[in-house]
């Protein structure tokens, strides 16, 4: 697993409720045949928090089955962000995944 910042540090869009940078954690298949597929995982929480049990465990499960998975730690309403910040983060995460698809 490796983690990438979602936005450049000077963009003003990079803080989550935890005070960390908005990130995209990548889980690549290891020890199994790579299926050539990727999935973006967005943990739930009603924009108030990120459910720990709905992100990294699913990504690990997918990677063990040959699917590259990425967990988005996105901006939250509880940290003062408003719509469409969460959708902007999801759209950017998809762009990052697509751009890195050939890096597999």
Backbone angle region of 27, left / alpha / beta, with phi > 0 → left and psi within -120 to 50 → alpha:
beta
Domain range for 16: 2-103
- The vertex-51 CA angle with 70 and 19, nearest 5°, equals 80
- Residue 53, token pair as written in the block: 């049990």
- The overall pTM is greater than 0.85: yes
Over residues 33-82, the pLDDT tens digits come to 999 999 999 999 888 888 888 999 999 999 999 999 999 999 888 888 88
Region 16-33 average pLDDT? 81
CA distance 8 to 96: 12
- Which CATH number is 62's domain given? 3.40.50.1820
Bond from prior residue into 84 cis (ω within 30 degrees of 0)? yes
> Per the structure, how many domains does the chain have?
1
């Amino acid at each position: 697993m490796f983690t990438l910042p979602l936005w450049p540090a000077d963009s003003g869009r990079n803080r989550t409720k935890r005070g960390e940078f908005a990130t995209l954690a990548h889980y690549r298949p290891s020890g199994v045949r790579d299926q050539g597929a990727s999935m973006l995982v967005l943990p739930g929480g009603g924009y108030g928090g990120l459910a720990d049990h709905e992100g990294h465990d699913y990504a690990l499960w997918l990677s063990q089955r040959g699917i590259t998975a990425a967990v988005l730690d996105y901006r939250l309403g509880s940290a003062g962000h408003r719509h469409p910040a969460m959708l902007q983060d999801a759209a950017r995460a998809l762009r990052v995944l697509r751009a890195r698809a050939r890096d597999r």
